[in-house]
Amino acid sequence: MKSLRLLPVILLALSPMAFSQSDAQKSFDKLKALAGTWEGSATITPKSADMGADGSATQVTLRVTSRGNALVHEMKDPGKPDDPAHYDHPVTMFYLDGDRLLLTHYCDAGNRPRMTAKMSPDGKTVEFDFLDVSGNLQYGHMQHAVFTIIDENHHTEDWTYLMPGDKPMRGHLDLKRVSTVAAK
């Protein structure tokens, strides 16, 4: 009987948690606010002859789709024709899966790694850790990604790719907003 008297107190204490937005939803909303076209420079470490020069131009487009349930991230070299059959043009999809924010990276290497997100305490960084991968692993796969929001018109992306033999290659993108697409 005594425990029944405590039930309203327990429910009252839990109610803010029940109505608060999940960390996954907060992270997803933070990324959806990046919807638009971004341009900037890419730095690859270690340097690779077939990955372009240090500080080479890159373009990223983020678009909210599927009634706000998915975010499409497309990356390309703005100096190359828009021909994904002949030039790198990786696509990454961000979406909520229950209480997790996931990404699936559709890689030019022919595989699809998935990663799970966590947001930094200050809410400015969304970091993705490797979950699993499907497809061809002959050329390696994307392993890690970090999105850091500097302000509404500037963000960075850090991508880690595991080469064969588990050698990491890191790409750092420093991006400025060129146009805005309203996030839904």
In the chain, where the domains are located: 22-180
In CATH terms, the fold of domain 22-180 is: Lipocalin (2.40.128)
Instruction: Examine the pLDDT at 41 and tell me if it is beyond 90.
Output: yes
In 3D space, the residue among 107, 113, 116, 115 whose CA is nearest the CA of residue 133 turns out to be: 113
Per the CB < 8 A criterion, the answer to whether 99 and 26 are in contact is no
Please give the average per-residue pLDDT across 111-126, as a whole number. 96
User: By percentage, how much of the chain surpasses pLDDT 70?
Assistant: 81
Which of 2-16, 38-52, 77-91, 101-115 is predicted with the least confidence, judged by mean pLDDT? 2-16
Asked whether the predicted pLDDT for residue 93 surpasses 90, the reply is: yes
pLDDT-derived band at 57, boundaries 50, 70, 90: very high
- The SS3 assignment for 1 reads coil
Q: How many residues does the chain have?
A: 184
Phi, psi of 102 (to 5 degrees): -115, 160
What six digits make up the tokens of 143? Answer: 């392993």
Q: What is the pLDDT of residue 137?
A: 94
pLDDT of residue 7: 43
Task: Name the residue with tokens 């750092």.
Answer: 172
pTM beyond 0.75: the answer is yes
Tell me the one-letter amino acid at 4: L
Average of per-residue pLDDT values in the chain? 86
Q: Which helix (H) or strand (E) holds 123?
A: none
b/e code 99-134 from CB counts within 10 Å (16+ = b): eebbbbbbbebebbbbbbbebeeeeebbbbebeebe
Other residues' Cβ atoms within 10 Å of the Cβ of residue 7? 9
How confident is the model at residue 180, as a pLDDT? 84
To 5 degrees, how large is the angle CA 179–CA 40–CA 117?
85
Check pLDDT > 90 for residue 116: yes
How do residues 128-163 score in pLDDT, each as one tens digit? Answer: 999 999 999 999 999 999 999 999 999 999 999 999
* pLDDT beyond 90 at 4: no
